[in-house]
Structure 1
Amino acid sequence: MKANRLVAPIVLALGLSILPAAAQDYPTKPVRIVVTFPPGGSSDVTARALSVPLQKALGQPVVVDNKPGAGGTIAATEIFRAAPDGYNLMMSNTTPISLAPFMLNPQPYDSIKGFTHVSLVATVPDVVMVHPSVPAKSLAELIDWVKAQNKKVFYGSGGVGSIGHILGETFKKQTGLNIEHVGYRGSAPMITDLIAGRLSFSFDTLPQNVPHIKAGKLRPLAVTSRARSHVAPDIQTVVEAGMPYLVAENFIGVSAPANLPEPVLSRLHAAIQKSLDDPDLVARLRDLGLTVQKMSQPEFTAFVSKQVEGWAEPVKASGAKLN
């Protein structure tokens, strides 16, 4: 009996010493960042830009893995269920954290308690754009044009449950316009259809659309931020257009499964903060219309909580659902 009584404390002590050691040694293998949308969108661009300096900071390969679908909840659910060891991360953003969960019943995860929100990376506004065949040069003119059509007008977004979708439905509710949403599997195919004239207008994040705007393939009407974008200062804001209810900026950050060990969390947060000081990363994201922002880990968690609380009512009011 005495021998048995001694074994348990020894095993327990060994277990307790092994776990912190593994966490302290993090990372010892490649780290994966899951992106909730297809290649080409803001989250994907940010993840790939971040992976370069982050790989140097961590001393291990950083692999970007696109897993789109269901408003980003497929990827988010995978990370929610993953082991909290720091090797499976998510490029978290407004859609799968603040929007999509409110469009599903039951909700697949708790956006706050279900994750460790590690670090904010950047914020980016949406932009309202029209095909050049639409004569509108402002949101007010777009409203007048839609009303004059006497038929349903179609607008697009990067996906059902995206921030563009919610903004579109909010716009519809506030104006009473006869418009219908067309959701795509990512921004790239939606932009293709918009340029081809198969859609009249869209709500989409700014970065991937800047080249098309500069080339004259799409006409921007307003950005959904309170201040004008540094990458497109000639585009007025929705506030200037008299529609402050359309103010919305997508956040892009890094999140992990809940209960991430403190040594791993500290190492990961420090590595991301160091990466955000990389001038090449800052310049690349700035050129694409994103604004790099740094926060402490508790500040980012509080920021996400505020985002979730702030979007709950608009999402429910929009009536948007994920099937």
Structure 2
Amino acid sequence: MIKRRTMMGAAAALALGGTAMAQQWPARPVKIIITFPPGGASDAAARVISGPLAEKLGQSVVIDNKPGGGTTIGANAVLAAKDDHTLMLSNSAPISIAPYLFDKPPYDPLKDFVHVFYIGSVANAFVVRPAVPAKDMKELIAWIKAQGKPVPFGSGGQGSIGHIIGEMFKAELGLSMEHIGYRGAAPMFQDMMAGQLDFAVVTLTEVLPLAKDGKLRMLALTSTQKAPSAPDVPLVTELGYPKLVAENFVGLSAPASFPAAAQARLHKAMAEVLADPKIVTRLGELGFVTKPMSSAEFTAFVAAQVKAFQAPVKASGAKL
């Protein structure tokens, strides 16, 4: 009886300890590392949620952009922090793509991270500048084939999802193209405006303002459902290119050592943030489609995307 009471007491103490940890976390400001420069889709999403999340947590939320290394610099910085207060605004590039760009992956996206909260996904867009004589994907393909030399295509960086989609497009249709990786979308758009780059693959979030102003033309989106912010842009599935479907997810992930109680607190706080229709509307204006998920569902989603991207990334020949 005494032994049984002792075991019950220990179990109760553990439960109370977990509850206390959940209540105490965060004990200081929380840092969210973005693996891209300011101005991209991940950065935009992080800045929408950071203020409301800080209110829910009762601590400041600091955004820290750490681009480079095909997004692995930021991911490795999260793993190196070991302070239970550094998170990653996870997305397809560092999680589903980057590990396959190295002969020896710098980390395991499933074993080295816990994936706590799914925010949403955003489509990628095939984009040309207005001077390009292509009003749709068929005309783009014909124009590329007619050039007689490799056509440069831009993306927001080496190892970005735009880079991989461009390589998939190239392989799927046997096109002569060469990738130019920029340090974010902003310098790439500057080159497009200056007539130095004709064609790019980039997230809808990044190109939407320029497309609405008529400065760039979107030809197709790489999603399976229409984007509320760009309802007139056709989907690759509608155009007969189902193998080009690729959506860039964003969420909050942390090192595998991140305490379970802190995960629960973070998930609860973020669920409250996204329960605000104004936040969902703002994310929708940026091209994101949100969807409620438990941490387990988000982890399964990540595992499925990691598996799905392995073959096309390897086949693309892209390396870092």
Tell me the TM-score normalised to structure 1 length: 0.91
| 1:48 corresponds to | 47
CA, structure 1 residues 23+285, in 2 after alignment: closer, same or farther (shift >3 Å)? closer
Deviations 1:172-216 (A, max 9, x none): 111121111100111111122122221111100001211111111
Corresponding residue number in structure 1 for 2:312: 314
Alpha-carbon distance, 1:106 to partner:
1.1
Identify the residue that residue 9 of structure 2 maps to in structure 1: none
Counterpart position of 1:172 = 170
Matched residue SS, 2:180:
strand
Q: 2:94 — aligned with what?
A: 96
Cα offset for 1:145?
0.9
Per the TM alignment, residue 134 of structure 1 is displaced from its structure 2 partner at its CA by 0.6
State which drifts further: 219-228 or 94-103: 219-228
Partner of 1:240: 238
Task: State the secondary structure of the residue aligned to 1:190.
Answer: helix
Residue type of the alignment partner of 2:258: L
Paired residue for 1:57?
A: 56
Q: Which runs of 4+ in 1 moved over 6 A?
A: 16-20
**Match of residue 121, structure 1, among 111, 119, 122:** 119
Secondary structure at 1:111 match in 2: coil
**8 Å contact from structure 1 (residues 84, 256) kept in 2:** no
- The equivalent of 2:150 in structure 1 is 152
Deviates more, 1:67-76 or 1:17-26: 17-26
Q: CA deviation at 1:148?
A: 1.4
Equivalent AA in structure 1 for residue 278 of structure 2: D
**Which of 193, 204, 212 is the aligned partner of 1:214?**
212
CA distance in structure 1 between the partners assigned to 2:269 and 2:18 by the alignment: 21
Residues 18, 261 of structure 2: 8 Å contact kept? no
Shift, 1:105, TM fit:
2.2
1:318 shift after superposition: 0.4
Q: Give the distance between the partners of 2:175 and 2:97, measured in 1 at CA.
A: 23
Amino acid aligned to 1:62: V
Q: How far off is 1:79 after superposition?
A: 1.1
Partner of 2:281: 283
Contact residue 22 and residue 264 of structure 2 kept, 8 A:
no
Per the alignment, residue 26 of structure 2 pairs with: 27
What code does the residue aligned with 2:73 have? Answer: I
Secondary structure, in 3 states, of the residue corresponding to 2:123? strand
User: Residue 251 of structure 1: SS of its match in structure 2?
Assistant: strand
Q: Secondary structure at the match of 2:135?
A: coil
Letter in 2 for 1:178: S
Give structure 1 stretches of 5+ with no counterpart: 1-13
2: CA distance between counterparts of 1:227 and 1:263?
35
Q: Give SS of 1:165's match.
A: helix
Separation in structure 2 between the aligned mates of residue 77 and residue 42 of structure 1, nearest angstrom: 20
Give the Cα separation in 1 of the matches to 2:224 and 2:277: 26
Equivalents in 2 of 1:274, 1:84: separation in Å?
A: 24
- Name the structure 1 match of 2:6: none
Task: Give the structure 2 partner of residue 68 of structure 1.
Answer: 67
| AA of the residue aligned to 2:71 | G
Contact preservation (8 Å) 1:125, 1:224: yes
2:285 alignment partner AA: D
Distance 1:18 1:305 in 2: 31
1:199 corresponding residue in structure 2: 197
* Counterpart position of 2:8: none
CA–CA separation in structure 2 for the residues paired with 1:211 and 1:22: 43
The correspondence for 1:140, drawn from 104, 124, 138, is 138
Corresponding residue for residue 187 of structure 2: 189
Aligned equivalents of 1:37, 1:217: Cα separation in 2? 24
Query: Shift of residue 151 of structure 1?
Result: 2.0
Q: Counterpart amino acid of 2:304?
A: K
How many Å apart are 1:278 and its aligned residue?
Answer: 1.8
Check the 8 A contact 1:84/1:259 in 2, yes or no: no
Give the equivalent residue in structure 1 for 2:77. 78
Give, in whole Å, the separation in 2 of the partners of 1:17 and 1:106.
42
Give the 3 Å change call, closer, same or farther, for CA 294–88 of structure 1 in structure 2.
Answer: same
Q: Provide Cα deviations, 1:234-293, integer angstroms capped at 9, x if missing partner.
A: 110111111111111100000011022121111111011111112221111111111122
| Larger mean Cα displacement after TM superposition, 73-82 or 115-124 | 73-82
**Displacement of 1:22:** 5.0
State the superposition RMSD in angstroms: 1.8
- Give the letter aligned to residue 66 of structure 2: K
Q: Could you tell me the TM-score, scaled by structure 2's length?
A: 0.92
Quote the Cα distance in structure 1 between the aligned partners of 2:179 and 2:30: 37
- CA deviation profile, 1:85-127 (whole Å, cap 9, x unmatched): 2x10000000000001100121111100101111000100000
Do the aligned partners of 1:84 and 1:258 also contact (CA within 8 Å) in 2?
no
Q: Which runs of 5+ in 2 are unaligned?
A: 1-12
Counterpart Cα distance in 2 of 1:271 and 1:50: 11
CA distance in 1, matches of 2:19, 2:209: 48
Identity of aligned residues (%): 52
